[in-house]
Amino acid sequence: MPFKVGIIGGSGLEDPQFFKDAKEVQVTTPYGKPSDSFIEGTIGDVPCILLARHGRQHTIMPSDVNFRANLWGMHSLGASVIIASIACGSLQENVKPGELVFPDSVFDRTTGRKSTFFDGTNPDAPGVCHIQMHPVYNEKLRKVILMMTAIDLKLKFHDGGFGICIEGPRYSSRAESRVFRSWGASIINMTMMPECCLAKELGIPYATTALVTDYDCWKDDEQVSMELVMRTFKENSSKAKNLFIEAVKRIAKEDWKTEILTAKVYHVFQIFSF
């Protein structure tokens, strides 16, 4: 199967014009329907697969995203590596709206989301998988690809830090926001989990780009509003598109055999079946 780059977008990347030779592909999975049709095409002659996490019309709230179907669909279409984007709020003064964060870990505060393929419902995923979550993201994708591309594009970004993933769809209370901030978290978001751990279960190298839209609600002099979030969101969308277009080209120049083999072997040794 040819090398393909999977792209999961929550930040305006769902435009089919993002690709050349774009075509829609419907995928049926053992875990139900993905968020939308997959879009297959090329960026600079590199085969890619695109999926809009919330649907192309953004009709799916975070709690209802079928992360398992989304990742299984990517896997079944042959995604070799996955890069993703998320919108987020900032929990630290120095992480400003309009900037990017390449997180290196995550703190899961979601409730009740389906976070494993190995739940006994799919004969193609037998046993129990106790996947290890350090490191959360593939460091080659995070540092060599995404960060170096951001440097080339002269984008303001932050290296590392962890994100809090909340259930949503509501925003945090001020008490919650200040507690999360006191824990040292850099950003807060509603879709970081369980996407990253599901990619690990499938043995697919994965990394995400966080696009900062606001300061959450911990600041006395700033309030979160949908107007502010959407305005910054639109500004960030063009940054994300440019970043991912160039990142895909950079990915294609690297040798991923070792990374992919390591991820798949690591995944196999976390599965217990009796």
130 is in an annotated binding site: no
3-state DSSP assignment of residue 179: helix
For residue 56, which phi and psi values (nearest 5 degrees)?
-65, -20
68 is in an annotated binding site: no
159 is in an annotated binding site: no
Q: Could you tell me the CA-to-CA distances from 121 to 30, 67, 69, 94, 271 in Å, in that order?
A: 8, 16, 13, 45, 15
31 is in an annotated binding site: no
Q: Can you read off the two tokens belonging to residue 107?
A: 């703190």
To the query of whether residue 216 is one of the catalytic residues in this protein, the response is yes
Catalytic residue among 159, 214, 221, 255: 214
149 is in an annotated binding site: no
Q: In which residue are the tokens 């991923």 written?
A: 256
221 is in an annotated binding site: no
Q: Are 7 and 210 in contact (CB under 8 A)?
A: no
Catalytic residue among 124, 216, 221, 255: 216
255 is in an annotated binding site: no
124 is in an annotated binding site: no
To the query of whether residue 124 is one of the catalytic residues in this protein, the response is no
3-state DSSP assignment of residue 245: helix
Sequence ranges of the binding site for phosphate:
11, 53-54, 191
- The catalytic residues are 214, 216
Detail the residues annotated as belonging to a binding site.
Answer: 11, 53-54, 190-191, 214-216
> Which residues contribute to the annotated binding site for substrate?
190, 214-216
